[in-house]
Structure formats: C-alpha cells, structure tokens
C-alpha cells in the first residue's frame, strides 16, 4: 500500500499541474459520483492528509485514497496512458494537462467544508502542517498494552505510516513488533518516524538502509528467508492484527529487536 510520503509526492505533483487552473473536463467513473461534473471550476489546491489525497475544486473536494493499487498520473494532451484505460477512475482536464487517477481504492466527492467527515478521524500528519509530535506520542500511548506494531499502524494515532515504515522503524529502534506500547520510549520512536519519512520524502527512491540499490533498501521488510544485514541472524516473519480480518505481515530480527 502506498504510504504517506508517496501520497505527499502525488499531491505535490498534482498541485503543481492543476492549482489555479480551470477544469475543461471532469469524468468521475464511480457509480455514486458518475453524474458529478466540475467542468468550469478552478482547482485551488491539492493536499495530502496522511494516506488521503484532497483535491479542492471550487467549493468541492475530490477525496481519493490509493489503497493497494492506486496511482495518479499527469499527462500532456495527446500522450498515451501508461495504465489500462479501464482502470481509470477520475479524469480531470485543463487547457494544459490531463490528470488521471487509476485503480483508486476510494473516490468520494463532498463539499470542502465537510472534509472532516472523511479525514477528521486522523491523528497528526507526519508530513502535514498540523504535525504535532507530542499529540502523536500521546495518541500512541493511550493503549499501553497494545502491540507497538498495531499502535503505529493506527491512522487515528499518527497519519502516514504503512507496513513498510512500521516494520523498518521498529528494526531501527531495536523493538520487536509484539512489544507493548508501555515498554517503549514513544516520543523517541515518533521523532524517528518523522525524521525517516521526511528524509525519504525528498529522495528519488525510498530507503531505510542508506542504499538505493534494488533489494538493498530495507532492513527487514519483505526479506523472507533472509538474514539480518546487521548481525546475520535469520529473520523471522509473522502476522499481527486487532482481529483476524486485519492481519498485517511483520518481519523482525530476533537478535537486534528485543
């Protein structure tokens, strides 16, 4: 699933392409909003909120979430699309460009004044203007017996972290995914999360090890049946979730993560 830095970059690119431009075409290809036409309205801004993307057009917001497969592309008119046309969910045209959202996991259209209805539940955004490390740490610490892996995943606590970030942050912090929140230095962990995601935001390729070479960017995430880059111990893998329908994969080093 795309994480907070991916959505932040998507919002930045869309804002650069669309902000201040009048829509010359609007095609929203989801049944509940198929009749919406914002043609003639001006795009004021495009911003991210955690993993959510908010495109403000006149008095209206187009709210999208990439989920697992989603992506936004910007094309010059006449350029061929790099994704199949049948996966396009939102098409927005201006005199200069066309923005296309493919395989979007969520598409909603609502008055901008009601954005809190779709993002108001989120905790402080690691890459947002509302970032507040103290509030994020307080949110995570509210459930002292909860595994830290699940507390960091919870977007109500802190917005923007996905599975890759959570697994890698816990390795960098020497913390096993199952450790209760009460045993963790939460403020320090939150500060590290902010540092790592902010640094990666400005890189061409996300990395946690410092290397941008293929298959060298992570310490534990996705490294099935491999050994720890730091100590050589065989990595372990499991699943954690608040219930059986929300299990997420975990990877850890049994030596480096206590």
Q: Which long-range contacts (CB under 8 A, 24 or more apart) does 14-17 make?
A: 14/46, 14/53, 14/55, 14/72, 14/74, 14/99, 15/45, 15/46, 15/47, 17/74, 17/94, 17/96, 17/97, 17/99
- Within 8 A by CB and 6+ apart from 12, the residues are none
Q: In terms of DSSP bridges, do strands 43-49 and 106-111 run parallel, antiparallel, or are they unpaired?
A: unpaired
The residues near 188 (Cβ < 8 Å, ≥ 6 apart) are 173
Spatial CA neighbour of 17 closest among 9, 29, 5: 9
From residue 127, alpha-carbon distances to 150, 197, 247 in Å are: 20, 8, 26
Q: How far apart are CA 96 and CA 165, in angstroms?
A: 36
Residues 216, 175: Cα–Cα separation, whole Å: 21
Determine the Cα–Cα distance for residues 80 and 89; give it in Å rounded to an integer. 16
**What are the residue numbers of the active site?**
2-3, 51
Here the tokens at position 103 are 């395989």
């Amino acid at each position: 699933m795309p994480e907070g830095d991916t959505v932040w970059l998507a919002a930045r690119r869309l804002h650069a392409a669309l902000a201040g431009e009048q829509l010359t075409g609007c095609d929203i290809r989801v049944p509940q909003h198929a009749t919406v036409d914002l043609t003639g309205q001006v795009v004021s801004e495009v911003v991210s909120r955690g993993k959510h993307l908010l495109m403000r057009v006149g008095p209206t917001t187009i709210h999208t979430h990439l989920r697992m497969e989603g992506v936004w592309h910007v094309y010059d008119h006449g350029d061929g699309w790099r994704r199949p046309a049948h996966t396009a969910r939102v098409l927005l045209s201006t005199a200069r460009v066309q923005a296309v959202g493919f395989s979007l996991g969520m598409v909603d259209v609502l008055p901008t004044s009601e954005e809190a209805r779709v993002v108001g539940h989120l905790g402080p955004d690691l890459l947002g203007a509302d970032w507040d490390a103290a509030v994020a740490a307080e949110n995570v610490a509210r459930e002292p017996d909860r595994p830290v892996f699940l507390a960091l995943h919870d977007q109500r606590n802190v917005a923007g972290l996905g599975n890759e970030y959570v697994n890698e942050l816990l390795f960098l912090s020497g913390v096993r995914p199952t450790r209760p929140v009460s045993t963790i230095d939460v403020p320090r962990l939150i500060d590290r999360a902010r540092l790592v995601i902010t640094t990666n935001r400005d890189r061409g390729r996300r990395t946690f090890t410092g290397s941008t070479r293929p298959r060298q960017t992570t310490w534990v995430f996705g490294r099935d049946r491999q050994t720890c880059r730091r100590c050589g111990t065989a990595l372990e893998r499991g699943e954690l979730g608040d219930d059986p329908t929300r299990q997420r994969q975990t990877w850890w080093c049994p030596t480096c993560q206590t």
